[in-house]
Structure 1
Amino acid sequence: MRILLRKIRATRQPFRLEEEGAVCEGEFWREDRHRVVLEGRIEGPVALRCDRCGEAFTKEIDESFRLEAVDRPLKVDESLDVIECNDGIVDFNEICRSEIASIQSEYHICPGCEAEGDFEIEY
């Protein structure tokens, strides 16, 4: 789902997408002339890789998010949860894929390694 940022209204509008088996749903609205807010949750199975043994596994997730999409250049002191839409188009599918990729990049342990007990984690 792609929408021109300038076409988004100030009233909250629902959205619901499926990406990679997970459901991404919530609301979006225009906060000001150059800023749209997306607020919602990602729920469902996500494919992960164990950071200990390297095996692939699936885990049910339930994560909330709040992002802003802007069609102007960002200043350094602005929030990190902002997506620049230089072409003026808010791509909801790409935003959901990006949020799932962010979850996948976190540290994950498969159920088999969890059952093995304590081990040292380096950060």
Structure 2
Amino acid sequence: MQIQLRKIHENRHSFSVKKEDITCSGEFWRSGKHNVTIDGTIEGNIHLHCDRCGEAFAKHVCEPFHIEVVDRPLKVDESLDVIECLDGIVDFDTICESEIASIESEYHLCPDCGKEDNFEIEL
């Protein structure tokens, strides 16, 4: 789902994007002349690999997220929860894929390895 940033108004609108077993849903609204705010939740079963034994497993996630979308270049010191859309189009599919990839990149243990308490995690 794509929407031109200039067509988004101050009223809250809902969205829902489904990617495989995961639903990304929430609300979006214009929060400034060049800003759109997106508050949402990622919920569903995500397919992961255990970082200890390498086995594939599914995990149910329900993660909230908050993102600002801007149609201007960002300064280096601005928040990491801001996405530039210099073409003026807010792409909800890409935003949801990015949030899913963020969850996948975290450290995950399968149910068997998660039961063991006697190992170290190197960060």
Place the TM-score, normalised by the shorter chain, in its bin. Answer: over 0.9
User: How far 1:99 moved relative to its partner?
Assistant: 0.1
The answer for the alignment partner of 1:5 in structure 2 is 5
Matches of 1:117 and 1:80, distance apart in 2: 33
AA aligned to 1:35 is N
Give me the CA root mean square deviation: 0.9
1:3-23, Cα deviation, whole Å (9 max, x unpaired):
001110111000111113111
Question: Which range moved further: 70-79 or 97-106?
Answer: 70-79
Range with greater deviation from structure 2 (92-101 or 109-118): 109-118
One-letter amino acid of the structure 2 residue matched with residue 55 of structure 1 = E
Unpaired runs of 5+ in structure 1? none
TM alignment of 1:102-117, pairs within 5 A: 102-117=102-117
- Aligned ranges 1:71-110 → 2 under 5 Å: 71-110=71-110
User: How many pairs are equivalent?
Assistant: 123
In the TM superposition, structure 1's runs of 4+ consecutive aligned residues that sit over 4 Å from their partners are none
Could you tell me which residue of structure 2 aligns to residue 50 of structure 1? 50
User: What runs of 5+ residues in structure 2 fail to find an aligned partner?
Assistant: none
Deviation of the 1:93 alpha carbon: 0.6
Q: How many Å separate the matches in 1 of 2:84 and 2:121?
A: 34
